[in-house]
Structure 1
């Protein structure tokens, strides 16, 4: 289970940012509560998105951005040959395996953000056509970008889960906490 950083306990900007990121991760994680891999791979709406695919994507994206900030290549490089695998589980991948991977990525993200000397430190944006060339962004930008990316997909996850079985975010929070939501 991905741990939740409590901003009020941390009392600092890094703690607050990490807390918001953990909260958004929780929305996606909860959307998968009680589902089989088959249910998580279902496409119950007009979208091609699935809960399993969203999980894989956010874990991969988070790992990739933190790797770039460290000056390392992402663990998975996406291009035209494998882009179609970005939002689907392949080659024996499972929801359980992706959740475990994301938990590891989340721990690495938190350790990295806490270790950088300053949130004002920068790293270059990737050399991709959709980014401005020769531009650098701050570590603060990195965490805010991860919050935005994860929150966007947490909203997708809410819609997909509710389309699957009617479970709403409130009911899933209650389920995660061991209570029943009417």
Structure 2
């Protein structure tokens, strides 16, 4: 796991990045001590698995980072997703490990994405800087959002999935995040 600073900067960027990291940590910790088989298991009626949630949030963060950078999006051939854009047929692959992916490899990938996100946010002139939302039925058409919005969205996304991870982990072996 990448070594993230434990110092919370007093400014807004540092605070938002600390909240993003806290939610990343909650998801990472849900996988502690599990085998690959346990991490890929479905102990409830949900389709969600811990390894699938891990892959999903890592890819989501990279995609939002690329959108904010206004750079070509998606993953490279060496990253989860293998550089393929998701289609309706391959959407489910974003929620499960495939083609030799492992929990350690996805954790390492996510660590790299987290470092890129922190470096990008540190270098952005203002959290008020904007970028366009991608075309999607769930986004308004022709809307731009700020870097601040993106960071808050990552907190929201990760917190939602950290809650899912808590339930999956407790269903697996009774381990609870909050004791």
Match of 1:138 in 2: 146
SS in structure 1 opposite 2:178?
A: helix
Quick one: distance in 1 between partners of 2:158 and 2:3? 15
CA shift at 1:129, angstroms? 2.0
CA shift at 1:159, angstroms? 0.6
1:67 aligns with 2:75: no
Quick one: distance in 2 between partners of 1:103 and 1:164? 25
SS in structure 2 opposite 1:43?
A: coil
Match of 1:118 in 2: 126
TM-score normalised per structure 1? 0.89
Q: Which runs of 4+ in 1 moved over 3 A?
A: 2-8
1:170 aligns with 2:170: no
CA contact under 8 A between 1:44 and 1:164: conserved in structure 2? yes
1:30 aligns with 2:29: yes
Coordinate RMSD, CA, aligned: 1.3
Match of 1:179 in 2: none
Q: 1:105 aligns with which of 103, 113, 132?
A: 113
- Deviations for 1:128-177, whole angstroms, at most 9, x for unmatched residues? 22211110000000000001000100000011111100111135xxxxxx
Which is helix-richer, 1 or 2?
A: 1
Quick one: distance in 2 between partners of 1:5 and 1:152? 24
Where in structure 2 are there 5+ consecutive unaligned residues?
A: 76-82
CA shift at 1:3, angstroms? 3.7
Match of 1:51 in 2: 50
Match of 2:79 in 1: none
1:16 aligns with 2:15: yes
1:151 aligns with 2:159: yes
CA shift at 1:45, angstroms? 1.0
TM-score normalised per structure 2? 0.91
Matched residue count: 170
